[in-house]
Amino acid sequence: MLREQTITRFEDQNDEPSLLEINYDQTFHNFKQGEVVKGHVLRVTENEVLVDIGYKSEGVIAIYEFKNGKALKPGDEVDVYIDEMEDEKGRCILSRRKAERSRGWDDVIAKYKEGDIVAARPVRKVKGGLMVDVEGVEAFLPASLAFIKGFGNLNALVEQAFDIKIIKINPERRNIIVSRKDVLEAEKQVSKDKILSELEVGTVRNGVVKNITDFGAFVNLGGIDGLLHITDMSWGRISHPSEIVKIGDKIDVKILHFDKATHKVSLGLKQLLSNPWDDVENRFPIGTRVQGRVVNIVPYGVFVEIDKGIEGLVHVSEISWSKRVTNPSEIFKPGEIADVMVLAVDKANQKISLGIRQTADNPWVGIEDRYSVGTRIKGTVWNLTDFGAFVQVESGIDGLIHISDMSWTKKVSHPKELLKKGQEIDAVVLSVDQIKRKLSLGLKQLEEDPWVKISERYPSGSVVEGVVSKSATFGVFVEVEKDIEGLLHISEMNQDQATTLETHFPAGKKLNVKILKVDSAAHKIALSIKGV
């Protein structure tokens, strides 16, 4: 080494140290490992740079630590870091990179403090986050502080410049913890405050659809999200917001309401279009016949869309002139086309009453002329109920034969005892009501009322033979001729007979009875066995 050769020459000339040697020793400096000092380039080799730092031996730096080591010249001043005072070869090992980092650390510590916002660029991905460069000093960006929500894609941040916030500086360990999340949240808040200060009800803003739910879509207005409710998307009926918008769509929306305290913003899309109800009375006056699409079916009727955003209700009572509709879903299906007539318009409440039966001729008009009382008609039994039978006399016209009008003499418990579905029968018109759409028919009226002549055949006091048909708590019924019964009341028999009716008067027993009274109007005969 240069310094060792010089010292050797001095020692050869004189055993005693010379003044020059003493002065030379005084030029040595006290160094310690980890220091950053200035040095001068002595020479550059293929792999190393030799630097004089004023130490007893020359310092050695690997040439790759310099950005352009080959361009160095003897005498150039450089900052170096003492990495090792003396290796196994007696050399002082220096580092250019560590010197730059150490100087950078001191500069950064002097320039910035915790809480400051600085620019950074990722250097490499490490376990748990990224190492970022802050003016030559590496700082650690944890993955949890890299994004506003959750853990994003760290690879997407590599080689991207962005601002970070210094969270923690540890001088002893020489490390810095930074956060990108804090910067993003602060920027978001600033943007949100700016947007809120600019918002006005009624204004139109551009936004991007951020998320879609069953009840609406959230739209980002550039720093703040607003809710576009499903009811404010279209004047027409929609089943799901995805029918109108998709995530990522850029749309114009109208500000309907906003609350600065809660940062809640309500948006509207349909409000950008004219309200179809504004001139509904002119476009659909009462009596107008139109075609519409069935959009909803409920127990009480059918909703029909007659124009975009205009729906009307066809009540069950307005579906058919003759049929009593109890379940509209048995007749209609969503999406089918229906002919309807406008019956009423309520613009204020956005309601329209529609009718389907009004599009066809009313079969009940003139029915009193076609079916006057007493007319004998033909019809087909199409339904049986506990109280009677419905008979179709023509298309759209049904008449009812009440159970009380089925037989003069027989006590009918259910119409099926005499009639069955699909049976063609004759009947007599008993009454007609065009307004209430009611037609009453009679079956027994096809024959003469036998009770008219009963009183002639059974005068009071006469004795006839009959057959016990059934017993009751108050007496027994006795059939005096086919389907003609009289009542033998317990008051018209012996006391011992009255207490044990079923024993003394079993069904089918023949019995002589006396006619007490015949009530032809009420179809009743009073009987007695006293004195018989």
Contact status, residue 305 vs residue 311, Cβ threshold 8 Å: yes
Task: Say what the pLDDT of residue 28 is.
Answer: 52
CATH of span 450-528? 2.40.50.140
Q: 220: which 2 tokens?
A: 């980002």
What is the rounded distance in angstroms from the CA atom of residue 48 to the CA atom of residue 59?
Answer: 10
From first to last of the 532 residues of the chain, give the pLDDT tens digit.
434 433 333 344 444 444 334 344 444 557 777 677 888 889 888 888 898 888 877 889 888 888 787 888 898 888 888 878 877 777 888 888 777 777 767 777 778 888 889 988 888 888 989 888 887 788 899 988 989 887 778 888 887 889 999 999 887 777 889 999 999 888 888 887 787 778 888 899 999 999 999 999 999 988 788 999 999 998 888 889 998 999 999 999 999 998 877 878 999 999 888 888 888 888 999 999 999 999 999 999 999 999 888 999 999 989 887 777 888 988 899 999 999 999 999 988 889 999 998 888 777 788 888 888 989 999 999 899 999 999 988 877 889 999 989 988 788 889 998 999 999 999 999 999 888 888 999 998 898 888 877 878 888 888 888 899 888 889 999 988 887 888 989 888 888 787 888 888 888 888 889 888 888 778 888 998 887 7
CATH of span 280-359? 2.40.50.140
Task: Say what the pLDDT of residue 104 is.
Answer: 67
Task: Say what the pLDDT of residue 6 is.
Answer: 37
A 10 A CB-CB count for 492 gives: 20
Instruction: List the alpha helices (DSSP H) in 36-180.
Output: 96-111
Contact status, residue 504 vs residue 497, Cβ threshold 8 Å: yes
Residue with tokens 């070869």: 89
Q: 485: which 2 tokens?
A: 């019964």
Burial class (CB in 10 A: 0-12, 13-18, 19+), 409: middle
Its CATH architecture, for the domain 31-100, is Beta Barrel (2.40)
Task: Say what the pLDDT of residue 353 is.
Answer: 95
Q: 123: which 2 tokens?
A: 């250097």
Contact status, residue 83 vs residue 96, Cβ threshold 8 Å: no
Please give the CATH superfamily to which domain 367-446 belongs: Nucleic acid-binding proteins (2.40.50.140)
On the CB side of 207, CA atoms within 13 Å amount to: 30
CATH of span 199-272? 2.40.50.140
CATH of span 112-185? 2.40.50.140
Q: Same CATH fold, 450-528 and 112-185? A: yes
What is the rounded distance in angstroms from the CA atom of residue 144 to the CA atom of residue 466?
Answer: 105
Alpha carbon 321 to its chain's center: 39
Contact status, residue 486 vs residue 527, Cβ threshold 8 Å: yes
What is the rounded distance in angstroms from the CA atom of residue 57 to the CA atom of residue 466?
Answer: 152
Domains of the chain, by residue range, sit at: 31-100, 112-185, 199-272, 280-359, 367-446, 450-528
State the DSSP code for 18. Answer: P
Contact status, residue 384 vs residue 421, Cβ threshold 8 Å: yes
3-state helix, strand, coil in the chain (%, to 5): 25, 40, 35
Q: 242: which 2 tokens?
A: 């995805």
Phi first, then psi: what are they for 261, rounded to 5°?
-70, -45
CA distance to 96, 247, 336, 376, 421, per residue, from 415 (Å): 114, 64, 38, 20, 10
Task: Say what the pLDDT of residue 286 is.
Answer: 92
DSSP bridge pairs for 346: 351
Contact status, residue 18 vs residue 24, Cβ threshold 8 Å: no
Roughly what angle, to the nearest 10 degrees, separates helices 2-13 and 19-26?
150
Task: Say what the pLDDT of residue 16 is.
Answer: 45
What is the rounded distance in angstroms from the CA atom of residue 510 to the CA atom of residue 426?
Answer: 37
